[in-house]
Amino acid sequence: MNIRKIEPVGDCAISVMFENKIDLNVNRKVQRLHRFLKEEKIPGIRESIPSYCSLLVFYDPCQISYKKIGSLIKKVKEVTADVEDQDGRVIEIPVVYGGKYGEDLETVAAYAGMTPEEVIWIHTEPTYYVYQIGFLPGFPYLGGLDPRIHAPRLANPRLEIPMGSVGIGGEQTGIYPLPSPGGWQLIGRTPLKLYQKEQEQPVLLQPGDRVRFVSITEGEFEF
């Protein structure tokens, strides 16, 4: 499974690092180990949190030691090699692009040497992969953004970005689930709520899910 490094994080967590790069195959290995640990319900393991190329595993040191959990992970990597990859859900995200909902769309278009309409077409064309959730509850880091519309982050981040804003930061695109400071270029906004704390499952998107952006009108957004 090509585990590169296992190391402690404090006294109740362990980091399992795979190849140090953003890559779909690497992330699938992370997801495979994450799913295996979740399904096996190993005594002492509380939860695991996947990222691009590593898995953070929280455990109860009163039930299982760092040494034992490290040894266990080294053994299960052989088991998980036979675990099938599971494609997550495909979720459509409606987005109003440009105008007051995406004030940086024209900036991104100018940077790419395109029209705003071309940027919208390119942004809605792929099916994106949710590599990880972070920064804010429910904030998805999505892979698959076309290199033609990669755009640098803002030199001076905004103090508050509206909930539902869709942005581009470097080679990534993502969605702000809550009002927040941020430095990504804003190209649109979705009325869909990605985080609802009152729900049993408050976070809409999960690592391994796939996302398709669908362009809608301002009238559809405010309906």
Residues 161-172: tens digit of each pLDDT = 999 999 999 999
> How does pLDDT run across 123-139, given as a tens digit for each residue?
999 999 999 898 888 99
> How does pLDDT run across 33-51, given as a tens digit for each residue?
888 888 888 899 999 999 9
Q: How confident is the model at residue 189 (pLDDT cuts 50, 70, 90)?
A: very high
Residue 213 confidence (pLDDT) above 50: yes
The share of the chain scoring above pLDDT 70, in percent, equals 94
Is residue 17 within 8 Å of 4, Cβ to Cβ? yes
Q: How far apart are CA 201 and CA 97, in angstroms?
A: 28
Is residue 101 within 8 Å of 85, Cβ to Cβ? no
Question: Looking at residue 196, what DSSP letter applies?
Answer: -
Structure tokens belonging to residue 151: 């755009």
The pLDDT mean for the chain works out to 89
Q: How confident is the model at residue 82 (pLDDT cuts 50, 70, 90)?
A: very low
- Specify the domain boundaries for CATH 2.40.100.10 within the chain: 90-221
Q: How confident is the model at residue 223 (pLDDT cuts 50, 70, 90)?
A: low
- Multiple choice CATH, 5-80, 3.10.130.10, 3.40.50.300, 1.20.80.30, 3.30.1360.40: 3.30.1360.40
Q: How far apart are CA 1 and CA 83, in angstroms?
A: 11
Q: How far apart are CA 185 and CA 167, in angstroms?
A: 5
- Specify the domain boundaries for CATH 3.30.1360.40 within the chain: 5-80
Place of tokens 């998805």: 140
Q: What is the pTM of this model?
A: 0.83
Q: How far apart are CA 115 and CA 42, in angstroms?
A: 53
Check residues 215 and 220 and name the one with the higher pLDDT: 215
Sheet containing strand 54-59, strands side by side: 5-8, 13-17, 54-59, 45-50
Phi, psi of 37 (to 5 degrees): -65, -35
Is residue 42 within 8 Å of 16, Cβ to Cβ? no
Q: How far apart are CA 74 and CA 79, in angstroms?
A: 10
Q: How confident is the model at residue 70 (pLDDT cuts 50, 70, 90)?
A: confident
**Closest to 216 measured CA to CA, from 176, 185, 186, 189:** 189
With respect to CATH, is domain 90-221 assigned 3.40.50.620?
no
